[in-house]
Amino acid sequence: NAGVTQTPKFQVLKTGQSMTLQCAQDMNHEYMSWYRQDPGMGLRLIHYSVGAGITDQGEVPNGYNVSRSTTEDFPLRLLSAAPSQTSVYFCASSSDPESYEQYFGPGTRLTVT
């Protein structure tokens, strides 16, 4: 199993541009989530999904959209990139949300200039 995969690994955007960060998992996990990691702030939840067709907001959802059309994929869309969205983004999945153990992808480092 590849686990949780993320693409791209690095990305540079100009302010106002849009893009989609891809996330896929091959473990048949129902629960998937997106976090951003900033220095001194730990991991903050952006959006999450408890199954195909179901998404909800986390702590910092503004400026981001998600969809979950399949169990495997959970893309994160930046609608109009801003410098404040410069961060490292992690996708995670879990087989049982109530167990709370999450499997993280390798991350995408995004810079917005």
Partner 1 sequence: GENVEQHPSTLSVQEGDSAVIKCTYSDSASNYFPWYKQELGKGPQLIIDIRSNVGEKKDQRIAVTLNKTAKHFSLHITETQPEDSAVYFCAAPRGDYKLSFGAGTTVTVRA
Q: Which stretch binds partner 1 (CB under 8 A): 19-27, 67-75, 76-84, 99-107?
A: 99-107
Q: Check residue 27 for interaction with partner 1 (CB under 8 A).
A: no
Burial label for 40, CB within 10 Å (0-12, 13-18, 19+), is exposed
How many helices (H) does the chain have, and how many strands (E)? Answer: 0, 11
Q: Check residue 54 for interaction with partner 1 (CB under 8 A).
A: no
Total number of residues that touch partner 1 (CB under 8 A): 24
Q: How far is the CB of 3 from partner 1 (least distance, A)?
A: 9
The CA-CA-CA angle for residues 79, 82, 85, to 5°, reads 90
For partner 1, the closer of residues 14 and 42 by Cβ is: 42
Q: Check residue 101 for interaction with partner 1 (CB under 8 A).
A: yes
Residue with the two structure tokens 């709370």: 100
How far lies 13's CA from each of 50, 63, 66, 68, 102, in Å? 30, 14, 19, 24, 29
Instruction: For residue 45, give the nearest of 13, 69, 74 by alpha carbon.
Output: 74
Site string for partner 1, 31-50 (x = CB under 8 A): x-x-x----xxxxxx--x-x
Given the rule CB under 8 A, which residues bind partner 1?
A: 4, 31, 33, 35, 40-45, 48, 50, 58, 90, 92, 97-98, 100-102, 104-107
